[in-house]
Amino acid sequence: MSSYNIALNFEDGVTRFVECKAGEKILDAAFRARINLPMDCSDGVCGTCKCRAESGSYDLGDDYIEDALSDDEKESGLVLTCQMVPQSDCVIAVPASSSACKTGQSRFAATVTKVEQHNDAAVVLELDVDGAPPVFLAGQYVNIDVPGSGQHRSYSFSSVPGSSAIRFLIKKIPGGVMSTWLESAQAGHKVELTGPLGSFYLRAVERPLLFLAGGTGLAPFLSMLEVLVRENAQQRVHLIYGVTRDLDLVQVDAVEAYAARLPNFTFSTVVAEAASTHPRKGWVTEHMPAECLNDGDVDVYLCGPPPMVDAVRKHFDENGVKPNSFHYEKFTPNAAPVAA
């Protein structure tokens, strides 16, 4: 391979991708892309360019001093971008804002290809990107400008990274700005998008995964599942999809399709409404099998409304559940997601 895609995740949630040539250092690749990562000496002496490598393989060489990067820091995933030479695609957390690094959000245009209604619960919006396919990490979101309103709304990709055909699962909000526009949106209409954004994304898969989705919080998991299929992931993956009403269970057929395509993938659905005839009623926390938590050797991903996120966190605390990692994203109808 002659080059690698490097995702630079900044503290303010902005993600920028740069191409790093074989044998090239991250700092130099970023500079070519006019992104000024923190640096001073560029010789592995000062430690100013220290970042965290969250995924990927790389070589740091031995041309730096321990005062700049200790062995313990290296073992924990810290790197010096002035010395780091990637050997695969990588994701790097940069301890600075995008504005401080003289960069910003990417914008791109797309054309509506399909608007699919799902009861009174949600809409699937399909777009075809005008130009190069957007690069993002499975789980991330974009801001979509609502035509004619001067406002934007934030939605997670439900489609796989690297495709010019992109999809979003959008909750219907009576009188909502986006919901109102979608009532008349047709194939051929144009929209503008900004992103990718967010620190909620699929990390390297090294142990079993537990996905917890609330309502249209299912969207990022559809993107993640497609990536897992393409990577031929062998770890156990279990998805619990919780909603308020029976009618809120949308795109279950898409989830079922992944059960046939992805080895060791299982899922269950839960409905909270007491009047429901669904076989599993109540909250997601009441239908969380112990085996899915794997005695804590599990990576948990959660995307849903704030009450659900808070309930799961409380459940873990009260029951002494300490997963290897816990990544979550809260969303509200009129605000950008908040990830942790």
Across the beta sheet with 50-55, the strand order is 15-21, 3-10, 90-94, 50-55, 78-80
* Residue 204 resides in a domain: no
The residue segments making up the domain with residue 272 are 209-339
Entry pTM: 0.89
Instruction: Kindly give, in sequence order, each residue whose CB lies less than 8 Å from that of residue 215, ignoring residues fewer than 6 positions away.
Output: 121, 122, 171, 242, 243, 244, 248, 304, 305
* Residue 202 resides in a domain: no
**If DSSP codes are grouped into helix, strand and coil, which group holds residue 87?**
coil
From 61, 94, 127, the end of a domain falls on 94
Which CATH number characterizes residue 138's domain?
2.40.30.10
Best CA proximity match to 244, nearest among 307, 297, 331, 300: 307
Which CATH number characterizes residue 307's domain?
3.40.50.80
The upper half-sphere exposure of residue 297, i.e. CA atoms within 13 Å in the direction of its Cβ, equals 7
* Residue 99 resides in a domain: no
Domain identity same for 221 and 273:
yes
Domain identity same for 213 and 193:
no
* Tens digit of each residue's pLDDT, the chain (340 residues): 589 999 999 999 999 999 999 999 999 999 999 999 999 999 999 999 999 999 999 999 999 999 999 999 999 999 999 999 999 999 999 999 999 999 988 999 999 999 999 989 999 999 999 999 999 999 999 999 999 999 999 999 999 999 999 999 999 999 999 999 999 999 999 999 999 999 899 998 999 999 999 999 999 999 999 999 999 999 999 999 999 999 999 999 999 999 999 999 999 999 999 999 999 999 999 999 999 999 999 999 999 999 999 999 999 999 999 999 999 998 776 666 777 6
